[in-house]
Amino acid sequence: MIRKIANSARDYAWGSKTLIADYFGLPATGEAMAEVWFGTHPGSLTYLAEEPGRTVLDLLGGQPLSYLLKILAADQPLSIQAHPNSAQAIEGFARENAAGVPFDSPSRNYKDDRHKPEMIVSLVDGFEALCGFRDLAETIELFKSFGVSATTFVEALEEPDGLRQAFNLAFALKGSLGEITAELASKSALAARLEALYPGDPGIIVALMMNHVNLQSGEGLYLPAGNIHAYLCGLGVEIMAASDNVLRGGLTPKHVDVAELQSVVKFVSSPIEILEPKPILTGLARYQADCSDFALYRVDVTGATVLADLKISGDSILLCDGGEISISDSLGEHLMIRRGEAALISSDAKFVSLAGSGRAFLAC
């Protein structure tokens, strides 16, 4: 079974009014278009393009997908955040349920009992992100270069478990960081950008402790549980386990639970690992990630390249980001999708073939 699917853009404040509309050739709404979700997550149920009153979840008989695919467009930084592993999610969800924390409460940390590893692949050159803590020695030298204004943070970083100590110090000084972050903004372009949006925010200190990366088109990042990260700007395709568990650590007006975030974050230096798609067949490449909840492939078909009789594991979503792609399956069904369109390919077909002239991302 193949069905064209669609969804409305979510208008988060950090989103872009132009990136999604310009790249995919979609009508601009005049509002920020931050994310478009494709999946069965109740936060924004995807519907059938030809039957807007019927959702993908309806079509699948109420059986949710294990993953959520998104288009993400950011003009401003998203919050610094991390996601729990499975054990942490199960425990945190049960704890908040037992405490009677309403699901719609701003102070709710765990919306479900699932982990949330995720992957982002840039659609344009210059997708900017913060990802994990940089080498500790490099961070110490950076903060030393800021002079006397950062002395207390240098001292914290030089203590045992220095990353955690400096992180805790930033939040302990919340409310009195204004002079420090303003001084850092005069010495660091990144701090200046963040200070302009969130003056005196502890997240500015945390951001300066993190790896700062610019992805080129087609490059990706995998963000497992415990990885602290933030997307700063750009357009990408994001895939994640179907969870809404986010623990925030600054650069946001939303709820920040420092103690809970600290229990989830891995306070270790981790070098950036930029993902490149690994070829499997001509026209088909996979972004490798140590995650059983999802797989993400890049598809490139031309008149000379046809992907015939692909065996796809589970219910899949194909998102076209260029040209047009013809989809057919072993049940005799056929569908054409063009740039900005997506299709659900259900698991009842034994194989799928892709042809035409275009690019796409295949999630399953």
Q: CA nearest 110: which of 98, 124, 119?
A: 98
Q: Produce one character per residue of 244-265: b if its CB has 16 or more CB atoms within 10 Å, e if not.
A: bbbbbbbbbeeebebebbbebb
In angstroms, rounded to a whole number, what is the distance separating the alpha carbons of residues 175 and 84?
27
Q: CA nearest 3: which of 55, 70, 45, 81?
A: 55
N residues, the chain: 364
For 253-285, give the DSSP string.
SS---HHHHHHHS--SB-----B-PEEEETTEE
> What are the residues facing 9 on neighbouring strands?
none
For the annotated catalytic residues, the residue numbers are 248
Identity at 263, one-letter amino acid code: S
What does the DSSP 8-state code read for residue 112? S
Q: CA nearest 283: which of 265, 300, 262, 302?
A: 300
CB 272 within 8 A of CB 211: yes
Sequence-separated (6 or more) residues with CB below 8 Å from residue 107: 101, 255, 257
CB 317 within 8 A of CB 327: no
Does residue 78 sit in helix, strand or coil? coil
